Structure 1
Amino acid sequence: MQAGNITKFAHLSQFRDLKDFNNNVEQWMIDIKEEFTKSELIALKRLIRFSAKVPGICNAKIQTIVAATHDGTMGISRSTFERMLRKAKTLGLIEIHNTSKRGYQAHNVYVFIPYPVKEVVQSENIDVPIKANNPSKSINLLNNKRIGDRVAILDHTYVSNRVPQRFIELVKCFFDDAKIIEEYYRMYHISTYHLNAYDSDDLLDIGLDSFRQMIRALKRNKVRKNPYAYYYGVFQRKLDKLYYELIV
């Protein structure tokens, strides 16, 4: 692959836009964040920021990215960045493409991979004949059953307007079901409707962070009973922490 401007590698991007890229990164981080050290996370987050112009693509030189981490932060070393790359590649987060210029090796191109969607394999449905004297009645019953199956689960586009869009965008990544999204929001609303003294955006940030923590627990099989109750408990503890920080 020949070296060149970032736009030359736009065809490698697997994301619709920057928002889609950020949503996928957020899902990845829930799964793999703890695989990285603190300094490696700094390296990864800086690489993500350099991958915004063309969503999910970065062709900056390693020394350029490493140097950027020293602006206002503790900074990282080149070896830390390279260690992060090895981990990210092993985990399936990125692919690394080598480029050349005039026969010599040039900069690498880092390509982020979308978060893998786990497809649910559905078994073929076999319609059991319905005994009836009236054949048209049997057909109507079968048609009604099929319609009922289709509307049994409504996706995120059917969520009530009272649910903030940011809340929907996060929860739908894991549960694209209007009923489930609204139930998690109900837990959120129960916890916050009386907290008028707090900034609503701050509360929403805490609510979303609590949801991410609940998802991590689910993936590690630490949620033994009701996930809604688990989310509510995590959120309550974070709100209590916020309260004590304000009064100290």
Structure 2
Amino acid sequence: MKAGNIEQFKHLSQFRDIRDFNNNIEQWMIDLKSKFTKSELIALKRLIRYSARVAGVCNAKIQTLVSACHVAGQEISRSTFERMLRKAKKFGLLIVRNTTKENGKQSHNVYIFQRYQSQISQIVSDSSTIDVAESAKIDGAYKTNNLLETSNNINKRNETLDASFTSNRVPAEFRDFVKYFFNDAKTIEELWKVITIQTYYYTYMSIDDKVSLAIDSFKQLIRNIKSGRKVRNVFGYYYAIVGAILDREYENTWMEMYEEYAS
């Protein structure tokens, strides 16, 4: 592959735009952040920043990236950067392609970030026990089947529809975020139904507010599962997380009103 301007490598990008790239990186970090040392994370974050012009693609020289870290007061060595690259390639986070100059000599590399591939579904599938906190009660407000039973039966063949078949009632931003963990239309719709139920009386909330709540709650769900909590009923656990966040916001609102009138 010939060396050239970053615009030359646009076709290598795997992301729709920078927002899509950032969402994928955030999902990768849930899985991989603990795998890198503090210095390696500095190197990785610098590479991510330099991959913004063409979403997920960077052709900067390693020395340029290392120097940028030094300028920002985050001194790392070239060997640290190269060690980060080896780990990132091993985990499937990115691939590195060599380029050559017109004279045939090797030039700088092109770093191509990969779309997130989740292993979270397997973690849930392997869970044979449930350890849900006492506070995570549903109180009969929302009941559903086990996640493992939420596949669609099409022509009696028990086939599962992927996220592209999700109802248009589900906001695209939420669908696109969740699908990297549960690429199943029915599951995504059930998760959004939790938001619909929990925010039914919150008439002041815009659709953007609800999407933000849905994604923040889902991130908490994934963090808890990745931290080792065994969850049999994903929907019930998600319902409890959403409820807890809304309760905290309600309490904070009343506290702010009290302080305002008290003063």
TM range (shorter): 0.5 to 0.7
Deviation (angstroms), 1:64: 4.4
Letter in 1 for 2:75: S
Counterpart secondary structure, 1:78: coil
**In structure 2, how many angstroms separate the alpha carbons of the residues matched to 1:206 and 1:237?**
11
Counterpart position of 1:159: 166
Q: Secondary structure of the equivalent of 2:110?
A: strand
Q: Structure 2 unaligned runs (5+)?
A: 123-152, 257-263
Contact 1:62 1:78 in 2 (8 A): no
Matching residue of 1:107: 108
Q: In the alignment, is the contact (CA less than 8 A) between 2:10 and 2:54 conserved in 1?
A: yes
Q: Distance in 1 between matches of 2:241 and 2:176?
A: 20
- Measured against aligned partners, the alpha-carbon deviations of 1:53-86 in whole angstroms (never above 9, x if no partner) come to 4343201234544566689xx6532336555434
**How big is the shift at 1:227?**
1.1
RMSD: 3.8
Q: One-letter code of the match for 1:17?
A: R
Give a deviation string over 1:133-152, Cα, whole Å, max 9, x none. Answer: xxxxxxxxxxxx973327x5
| Superposition pairs of residues 126-141 of structure 1, within 5 angstroms | none
Structure 1: give runs of 5+ residues left out of the alignment: 121-144
After the TM superposition, which residues 1-80 of structure 1 pair with which residues of structure 2 at under 5 Å, given as runs? Answer: 2-10=2-10, 13=12, 15=14, 17-18=16-17, 21-22=21-22, 24-36=24-36, 40-41=40-41, 43-62=43-62, 64-65=64-65, 76-79=74-77
- Residue type at the aligned position of 1:96: V
Question: How far apart are 1:103 and its partner, in Å?
Answer: 7.5
Quick one: which amino acid aligns to residue 185 of structure 1?
Answer: W
The answer to whether the 8 A contact 1:66-1:81 is kept is yes
Q: SS at the partner of 1:235?
A: helix
State the TM-score, normalized to the length of structure 2. Answer: 0.63
Q: 2:155 aligns with which of 116, 125, 147?
A: 147
Q: Is the 8 A contact 1:2 1:99 kept in 2?
A: yes
- The residue that corresponds to 1:139 in the other structure is none
> Counterparts of 1:191 and 1:175 in 2: how far apart (Å)?
21
Go from structure 1 to structure 2 and tell me whether the alpha carbon gap of 1:89 and 1:174 turns closer, same or farther (over 3 Å shift): same
Query: Is the Cα–Cα contact under 8 Å of residues 61 and 109 in structure 2 kept in the other structure?
Result: yes
Q: Which position in structure 2 is the counterpart of 1:195?
A: 202
2:166 matched to 1:168?
no
| Conserved? CA contact 1:96–1:108, under 8 Å | yes
In 1: Cα distance, 2:105 partner to 2:114 partner: 27
Contact 2:48 2:56 in 1 (8 A): yes
Percent sequence identity is: 50
Does the residue aligned with 1:148 lie in a helix, a strand or coil?
coil
Secondary structure in 1 matching 2:170: coil
Superposed displacement of residue 164, structure 1: 1.4
The answer to whether residue 192 in structure 2 is matched with residue 185 in structure 1 is yes
Distance across 2 between alignment mates of 1:218 and 1:3: 43
Taking structure 1 as reference, are residues 156 and 87 closer, same or farther at Cα in structure 2, changes over 3 Å only?
closer
Equivalent residues, number:
220
Contact 2:118/2:180, CA 8 A, preserved across alignment: no
Deviations along 1:101-122, one digit per CA (max 9) or x if unpaired, are 56876433212233347799xx
Distance of aligned partners of 1:47 and 1:205 in 2 relative to their CA distance in 1, 3 Å threshold: farther
Q: Residues 20-79 of structure 1: CA distance to partner in whole angstroms, max 9, x if unpaired? A: 6455434423321333456654543442342244343201234544566689xx653233
Cα deviation per residue 1:198-235 (whole Å; 9 max; x = unaligned)? 56534422321221232343355513331112222223
Change beyond 3 A, Cα 1:210–1:46: farther
Deviation at 1:15, TM superposition (A): 1.6
In 1, distance between residues paired with 2:160 and 2:2? 48
2:90 paired residue number: 90
Give TM-score, length-normalised by structure 1.
0.66
